Each structure stands twice: as structure tokens, then as C-alpha cells.
Amino acid sequence: MKYGKIFTLALTLAVVSAFAFAFAADVSSAADIDKGSKDVSSSGFTDMSDGTFHIYLTNNTGSDVEILVIIYNTDGSEKDSGTFTVPAAAEDYDVKMKFGYGSSGDKMVFYSVFSSDKSVTYIDHEGGFIIEVSHSVWKNTSTYVLIVVVVIAVIVVAFLIVRARANKNKAASGSKTFTEMHAERQAKKAGKVAEKQTYNADGGKKKRE
């Protein structure tokens, strides 16, 4: 009977020790990756382009650690995920998550960090963090209408300038006086007479030998 109690006590201690060891190992693993000293931030989010969500992590080990990061919406659905390698002994390592929204306004997200095989949870459902999604003017129909109007206006102005120059040149060429036109005719005639006299003085066309 005495030996039975000793055996039962020994078995109980063994089981408790095993659980304690497993728990200690899990805590040690969970402490490998921790939140950095910098606050989570976001940048570049518009309702037409993706932005970047920055999560800063610290690696408390002397070796690289593969992690899985998951971003959640407020309803618990997964917004984005990705695997990363946090360098050994890194502090405030910037994990960049890129995703987007189709509408402007404030959006709230949470994030969790796991080991790459998801066997260890480093950070569990941290949040919520507000992402400011700005409105892009390129999403407005009025922006494209304005561009078309400006292009048409430029074409019309260019046409009017070219037409005005053409009319000006035409008016300038047609503004000669009768005396000037007569002088031009006389000069042309004099040139032809001089050319004829030179031709006769040379004895006309030379015959081919």
C-alpha cells in the first residue's frame, strides 16, 4: 500500500513536471518575438491605391525567426497576411503589410503574430488601430470632365492664334500700293530685257560640236 502511494505520487509529479516544462518552453518561445518600442503606423492609404501598415517587432533571440502576420477586420475576418523573417537580435524591425480599401474614411484593424507554422502565438489580436483612408480626386468623374474641358479650351485657343496669324500675314501681303506693284512689274521686265541682251551678246545658243 505504501509503495502504491509512492508510485502514485511519483507519477503525479512526473505529469506536473511535464506540463510545467511544456508551458515554460511555450512561454520561452512566445517571448522570442515581442512588440517593438515604436507605435504601429500607416501611410499612403487612399480609396484608389494600397497603403502600408507598419508593425514594429523585436527579436529577443540570437537567430533569425520566421513569422506569420495576420491583419483582421473588426468583424474578425482576415484582411491580409504574410510571412516574414525577423533578423537575429533585431529591434523595432519594420514589418510592412500592404493592402487597400475601396472607400475613404477611418478603418480599424487588429493584428496577430505567429510562428511560421502557427504553432506559437507571439502577439495575439493586438489592436484596434485606426487607418485613415483619404479620398483620391482621380475617383471623381468631375476631375476627368475638367481635364476634357481644359484640353478643348487649349485646342480652341491654339486654333484662334494660328488663324489670327494667317489673317495678319494675308492682310500684310495684300496691302501694297499701286505704285509698289507697278515698280515690281517694271523691275521684272527690266530683268528679262537684261537677260535677253546678255543672251544676244553671247551670240545666242552655242551649237553642239
Q: Does a structural domain hold residue 207?
A: no
Judge if 128 and 56 occupy the same domain.
yes
Domain holding 148, by residue range, is: 140-190
Q: Does a structural domain hold residue 205?
A: no
Check pLDDT > 70 for residue 178.
no
Can you give the three-state secondary structure of the chain, one letter per residue?
Answer: CHHHHHHHHHHHHHHHHHHHHHHHHHHHHHCCEEECCCCCEEECCECCCCEEEEEEEEECCCCCEEEEEEEECCCCCEEEEEEEEECCCCCCEEEEEEECCCCCEEEEEEEEEEECCCCCEEEEEEEEEEEEEECCHHHCHHHHHHHHHHHHHHHHHHHHHHHHHHHHHHHHHCCCCHHHHHHHHHHHHHHHHHHHHHHHHCCCCCCCC
Q: Does a structural domain hold residue 208?
A: no
Judge if 45 and 20 occupy the same domain.
no
Domain ends where: 115, 136, 157? 136
Q: Does a structural domain hold residue 197?
A: no
Judge if 26 and 36 occupy the same domain.
no
Q: Does a structural domain hold residue 151?
A: yes
54-67 residue pLDDT tens: 999 999 999 999 99
134-177 residue pLDDT tens: 998 766 666 656 677 788 878 878 877 887 777 776 666 655 56
Number of compact structural domains in the chain: 3
Judge if 66 and 95 occupy the same domain.
yes
Judge if 106 and 157 occupy the same domain.
no
Confidence of residue 117 (pLDDT cuts 50, 70, 90): very high
Question: What is the pTM for the complete model shown?
Answer: 0.56
Q: Does a structural domain hold residue 201?
A: no
